[in-house]
Amino acid sequence: MDKIELIAPCHFGLEAVLKREILDLGYEIARVEDGRVTFYGDAEAVCYANIFLRTAERILWKVGSFRAVTFEELFERTRELPWETFIPRNGKFWVTKAASVKSKLFSPSDIQSIMKRAMVRRLANHYGIEHFPEDGAPYPVRVFLMKDEVTVGIDTSGVSLHKRGYREVSGKAPITETLAAALIMLTPWRRERILVDPFCGSGTFPIEAAMMAADIAPGMNRSFTAEKWTNLIPKRLWYDAVEEAGDRIRDNVEVDIQGYDVERSVIRIARRNAKEAGVEHLIHFQERDVRELNHPKKFGFVITNPPYGERLEEKAALPELYRAFGEGFCRLDSWSAYMITSYEEAEKYFGRKADKNRKIYNGMLKTYFYQFQGPKPPKRTRDAV
């Protein structure tokens, strides 16, 4: 089992960002589809992908794929998969999630129960037992059905990878860590450039940027389901990956990353989260209204997630809020601004049409990533920083 296929789900619209991350880790891409990237690796790749990828939602070890249009076909094709290769005699196994799009089989609960029965039948024949203790390591199975094509994988991550372990408490309308990281990667921002988030909330954008600047692996301080799979992944591979993550950290990097919010209690939460992430010393958080948006230096970046106005009473305040944001940005000579929002009239009140606009789904919510691009700094300035 030297070469395996791994599936990395991600936010719809951000597949190209994840693909680049996987290539940077040195792995070969198999397929890029809506909401996921499949790549080739080995047991070590399971460790590295979970620990180092910033934009993947989880990592699945692909068991197989097949076509099924009836529940009988689903049972038989699932039973034919080599489950004994993955799940030991005492393994705990279940179909934790089934998703179906444009397929004849669409009932998640029926798909889950039929696949579980098929797995039991296969493993019972292999191990020669009828009842499984299921008191060992967990092997949660996830299945996607797309146009009657069934893809089956075992979840190596467990809790979603956006759970870095630093954000115990969130502010209003939080943006996930994986989405924030992907959006930062869509911009030209680098650690040498200024970054300001005037609606920082729980601090996700500044914290993710600081972790990138210091080269802190997003998964190095959390656990994963596959750590218990000693029949598939030797423990030393996890230790080696975490050790490399520790060696990469540049704790003394010099950056100018700032986060503002109008609410003092929210700023306290952001500082607490930054401390948990190990980047408190790299970010300046401040209680400040967006009307006071300013910075003395040139060629910086605003990357932010302003309020959407999901509640009616908040929606009335949005025109003035976005107008104030736009006026503040006008004072930032030569800067670029990037904002994700579902507010349809964002450009109108911001006072400028975006140079680029990317549609991205934040969960089930359709949002837009507006990009207002400023000039590049002179070459001598870039060389000096």
- Using one digit for the tens of pLDDT, what is the confidence trace for 278-314? 999 999 999 999 999 999 999 999 999 999 876 666 7
- Mean pLDDT in residue range 209-218: 98
In sequence order, what E strands does 305-375 have?
A: 336-341, 356-362, 365-372
* Axis crossing angle, helix 235-248 with helix 43-52, rounded to the nearest 10: 40
Classify residue 48 as exposed, middle or buried by CB count within 10 Å of its CB (0-12, 13-18, 19+): buried
pLDDT number for residue 337: 98
In a 3-state reduction of DSSP, which class is residue 53? coil
pLDDT number for residue 313: 63
Distance CA 310, CA 328 (A): 24
Contact 332, 339 (CB under 8 A): no
Distance CA 6, CA 47 (A): 11
Distance CA 255, CA 235 (A): 36
Domains of the chain in sequence order? 4-155 (3.30.2130.30), 177-216+251-384 (3.40.50.150)
Distance CA 14, CA 218 (A): 18
pLDDT number for residue 312: 60
pLDDT number for residue 380: 62
Contact 313, 348 (CB under 8 A): no
| 207 contact partners, CB below 8 Å, separation of at least 6 | 166, 167, 177, 270, 273, 274, 277, 279, 283
Backbone angles phi, psi at 288, to 5 degrees: -155, 135
In a 3-state reduction of DSSP, which class is residue 322? helix
Instruction: Write b or e for each residue in 295-334: b if 16 or more Cβ atoms lie within 10 A of its Cβ, otherwise e.
Output: beeebbbbbbbbbbbeeeeeeeebeebbbbbbebbeebee
- Mean pLDDT in residue range 225-253: 97
Kindly tell me if the per-residue pLDDT of 270 is higher than 80.
yes
Kindly tell me if the per-residue pLDDT of 315 is higher than 90.
no
Percentages of the chain per state (helix, strand, coil), in multiples of 5: 35, 25, 40
pLDDT number for residue 173: 53
Q: What is the DSSP letter of 138?
A: E
- Using one digit for the tens of pLDDT, what is the confidence trace for 173-202? 579 999 999 999 999 999 999 999 999 999
Cα 369 to Cα 132, 309, 323, distances in angstroms: 49, 16, 18
7: left (phi over 0), alpha (psi -120 to 50) or beta: beta
Cα 82 to Cα 18, 78, 86, 117, distances in angstroms: 29, 9, 8, 14
HSE of 53 in the Cβ direction (CA atoms, 13 Å)? 33
- Using one digit for the tens of pLDDT, what is the confidence trace for 15-65? 999 999 999 999 999 999 999 999 999 999 999 999 999 999 999 999 999
Instruction: Write b or e for each residue in 177-187: b if 16 or more Cβ atoms lie within 10 A of its Cβ, otherwise e.
Output: bbbbbbbbbbb
**Length, in residues, of the chain:** 385
- Mean pLDDT in residue range 92-103: 97
Distance CA 183, CA 340 (A): 9
Distance CA 281, CA 215 (A): 14
Average pLDDT for the chain: 94
In a 3-state reduction of DSSP, which class is residue 117? helix
Contact 180, 11 (CB under 8 A): no
In a 3-state reduction of DSSP, which class is residue 3? coil
Backbone angles phi, psi at 329, to 5 degrees: -65, -35
**Residue 362 confidence class, pLDDT cut points 50, 70, 90:** confident
